[in-house]
Structure 1
Amino acid sequence: MSQIPSKKNHSPSANRIAMEQRILRGAEQIFAEYGYRGASMDTIARHIGISKQNVIYYFSSKEELYRGVLKHIVDLWLEHMFFSEHDGKTPESIITSYIRGKLELSRDYPYASKVFAQEIISGAPMLKNYLQEKLRPLFEKDIQIVKSWIDQGYLIEFEPEHLFFTIWSTTQTYADFSTQIQLLLNKPALEEQDFEHATQFLTQLVLRGIVAPK
């Protein structure tokens, strides 16, 4: 078992950040498999390979750790997944990059996506305020960007909100319902080429449905 670190230095160090990330990634899988109520700090600690006391040093309670997992996946989306981060590019290239990025997050963080889905299905009791504070402003900004593309004639007339809802649901399916996809594809796990094929198909599907004829 690793030793519990000293709290003398309160500034975040590279070691602390690395350990927090290790705990979050390990907790993602346990929360995804057992749900919030079924998971325990003991199970999470055993899965990671450190002591429960060490987990508690970084995250003082199961609720704090659960919130940390949820905020981590939302922050990843906020960091990489908004149209406003791609100024100067064409609508087609921005939408293509957006779809690819969402599928890459489903590929790289499948357990976190499942935890997020469970939270949303439950009514987002622990994440609602965070989503309203962090997600809504950027979402509304992106809605205005899409409306400007429609006004400029790049895209056909439609309600922009549903473009995002559609992309989110189709891309997150490859994480949240990966077991179903694996069974139907007769594979033990989804492979890189599966995500690439999904990226190509979903990009074509979305762009052909919304890009205005030239």
Structure 2
Amino acid sequence: MDYDYLECHRELTVIRNIADRQFERWQLLVVTDMAPPPQCCCLQWLVPVHSIFLTECTFPYCHIDAHGRVFMKKNRLKMFIAESGKDFGVDFINHCPLLAIGGMVDMVHAFRCAKLPEDINYFFRRPKPGHWPRTKFLTQLKDTGIFFVWTAHVENTTNWDPCKHLGTLTVQTFGNTQELYWRLYTNLMERLLMFDLTITQMKVYVIMKIIRK
């Protein structure tokens, strides 16, 4: 038996619109204009006015681009976890974003965003054959928000064009940009949706998993 934990770092809130910025607080802004992989983004530091003098030397877990924007690297959480492990004398194995601790605990570190992105909001507007999920259940789903967790290395991707009989391989380089990517994580929404399944839906789900395997 093992235990699954989601540790949310609420001292840093994630926002999707710069209009929601609170100048007296440290916040993270979702940025998607840096060509991240699908379902990924970069998190820009929004620092208080009195803390504008940041450099990559004074803040080793940040990256400053040519426009002066400050982005959080994944090593920020890695440094925090490594320090915590030393304090408690615990070893962990990084499966990204999952941390296996002592063979008994699986933990994911995340940042929470209260506002849902447009591609997830579509889920609440689409037709619902069979009346699932229930209408009264949708409000609870919206309130869960979403999370951002660090990503593993983005693997090479392949594509086959049957018309041209041509295969292409896109090679991903493992430069510093890998440290800037954060993945969208909807585990609480998925968990609630599973709890709302009827017995018949659950049986169909189990059978489909068996067929897939």
TM-score after normalising by structure 2:
0.29
Which structure dedicates a bigger proportion of its chain to helix? 1
